[in-house]
Amino acid sequence: MFLKQFQYLIAVAEEGHFGRAAERCHVTQPSLSTGIKLLELELGAPIFLRGRGQRFRGLTPEGEKVARWARSVVANCDAMRDEIASMSNDLRGRLRIGAMPSMSPMLPSLLRRVRERHPGIIIDVQFIGNDAMRLGLNEFSLDVAFTYVEASDMGRRNTLPVYSEKLSLLVPDTDEFRDRTSISWEQASRLPLAMLRSKLRERVFVDKMFEKVGCRPEPKIESESILHLMFQVQYTELCTVIPSHFTKMPGLHAGTRALDLVDPVASQDIAIFWAEGETAMPMAKALVKIIRQMNKTGELAAQLSHENEKSNKAQKNISKPRVLPEAKAQNPEKGRGKRRKSIDGELCQLTKRRTAPSSSEEAPNNNVTVIMAETA
């Protein structure tokens, strides 16, 4: 029994095709088929369903069990290599992360620390739902998962709290909201709303908060993208509920402002989940160690607070045009003319910024892969 036989088995199961599996393993198809047949003979059980021809027809019940063990063996072998590499401060490989889409603004700070500590790591981020995260952890295709503690349903896993997510109402920056910093859920329910799709975890939580105050608002627009809902607020009269940390990244769009949702204040705890066992996988271990350090020093909480303060200052600057100092001139009339031109130019620039879409997307970092998926 050889490791490469398990790799052949996993490749066929995932590709659903013997030819593509052989290409993936960089061997000929006869070599791959021979390796799998030898594995079946050694185990004394058929792994694949067989019929006419060489087409893939699925795994037998025994094959399902063997595939699960094969993934565990290969994952632990990769982890052993990573562990040995980490002993010489040369951890290399892929850190595979699953997360809910609402957590995307929080990840860059954490992942930057990982890249600084371990430059040889390639980070792969997938924004997926809880079911896909649970399957990824079970099949060792994910190292860690970030999701809500209350509705995680991740099974028996190691967990570590990361942060608490609060909610805000994103509204147009109009006179109606100009002097406000908060709004109740009952008041928000009477506004025209754009909301996430009803099956998404974040929407379910928002609906429960409205129900607590006896309200069931009907959204004017639904979408699976929080970013799209933010654009709806920027260009129309609609409002939307967003995680409060979205005010820092991607940041408030021009012509919008965020109000704290109160009466009651709602929050959800976010945690990192990874495989249970005596030996933690090196990739998960590296990220968890950094999170523990940031929690212990309060760095993550301080960063959130600092960024929110910066966001509030930026929001005030957008709301109120700057008053320029008077131009110095010997001739008062000439000075007033220069001042009027300066103010007019400044207001023109503000108007352009109000009507132009915000280019909030940053250039992708090296060694980081991001995959977006709808969370149902």
**In terms of pLDDT, which residue wins out, 249 or 167?**
167
State how far the Cα of 77 lies from the Cα of 69, in Å rounded to an integer.
12
Task: Quote the percentage of the chain above a pLDDT of 90.
Answer: 23
Range scoring the smallest mean pLDDT among 165-169, 244-248, 264-268, 323-327: 323-327
State how far the Cα of 143 lies from the Cα of 284, in Å rounded to an integer.
6
The stretch 339-368 carries a mean pLDDT of: 46
The stretch 255-271 carries a mean pLDDT of: 91
State how far the Cα of 59 lies from the Cα of 41, in Å rounded to an integer.
16
Q: Where are the beta strands (DSSP E) in 173-220?
A: 182-184, 194-196
Q: What is the pTM of this model?
A: 0.59
Contact 223, 196 (CB under 8 A): yes
Helix (H, G, I), strand (E, B) or coil at 90: coil
The pLDDT, as a whole number, for residue 130 is 84
Q: What is the chain's mean pLDDT, rounded?
A: 77
Local confidence band at 367 (pLDDT 50, 70, 90 cut-offs): low
Residue limits of CATH 1.10.10.10 in the chain: 1-87
The pLDDT, as a whole number, for residue 151 is 65
Structure tokens at 48: 């694949």
Contact 165, 268 (CB under 8 A): yes
Structure tokens at 312: 């509030």
The pLDDT, as a whole number, for residue 332 is 41
256 forms beta bridges with 172
Closest CA to 6 of 61, 72, 93: 72
Per residue in 119-178, pLDDT tens? 888 999 998 888 888 888 888 889 999 998 876 677 777 888 888 889 999 999 999 998
The pLDDT, as a whole number, for residue 215 is 94
Closest CA to 227 of 196, 266, 204: 196
State how far the Cα of 294 lies from the Cα of 308, in Å rounded to an integer.
18
Tell me which amino acid residue 98 is.
G
The stretch 333-339 carries a mean pLDDT of: 44
Local confidence band at 370 (pLDDT 50, 70, 90 cut-offs): low
The stretch 100-112 carries a mean pLDDT of: 84
Q: What is the CATH number of domain 1-87?
A: 1.10.10.10
Structure tokens at 90: 């040369």
The pLDDT, as a whole number, for residue 338 is 46
Q: Does 39 score more than 90 pLDDT? A: no
Name residue, tokens 């924004």: 127
The pLDDT, as a whole number, for residue 245 is 84
Question: What is the torsion angle, in degrees rounded to the nearest 10, for the CA atoms of residue 193, residue 197, residue 198 and residue 204?
Answer: -80
The pLDDT, as a whole number, for residue 87 is 56
Q: Does 329 score more than 80 pLDDT? A: no
Residue limits of CATH 3.40.190.290 in the chain: 163-269
- DSSP-H helix ranges across 190-281: 201-212, 226-235
The pLDDT, as a whole number, for residue 335 is 44
Q: How many CB atoms lie within 10 A of CB 32?
A: 24
Tell me which amino acid residue 354 is.
R
The stretch 258-276 carries a mean pLDDT of: 89
Q: Does 189 score more than 90 pLDDT? A: yes
- DSSP-H helix ranges across 107-200: 107-117, 130-138, 185-189
Contact 48, 57 (CB under 8 A): yes
Per residue in 293-307, pLDDT tens? 888 888 777 766 644
State how far the Cα of 159 lies from the Cα of 347, in Å rounded to an integer.
51
Closest CA to 127 of 149, 96, 152, 154: 96
The stretch 92-98 carries a mean pLDDT of: 88
Closest CA to 245 of 170, 185, 194: 170
Q: Does 229 score more than 90 pLDDT? A: yes
148 forms beta bridges with 270
The pLDDT, as a whole number, for residue 30 is 84
- 71, 91, 165, 311 from 294: Cα distances, Å: 32, 20, 17, 22
Helix (H, G, I), strand (E, B) or coil at 364: coil
Q: What is the CATH number of domain 163-269?
A: 3.40.190.290
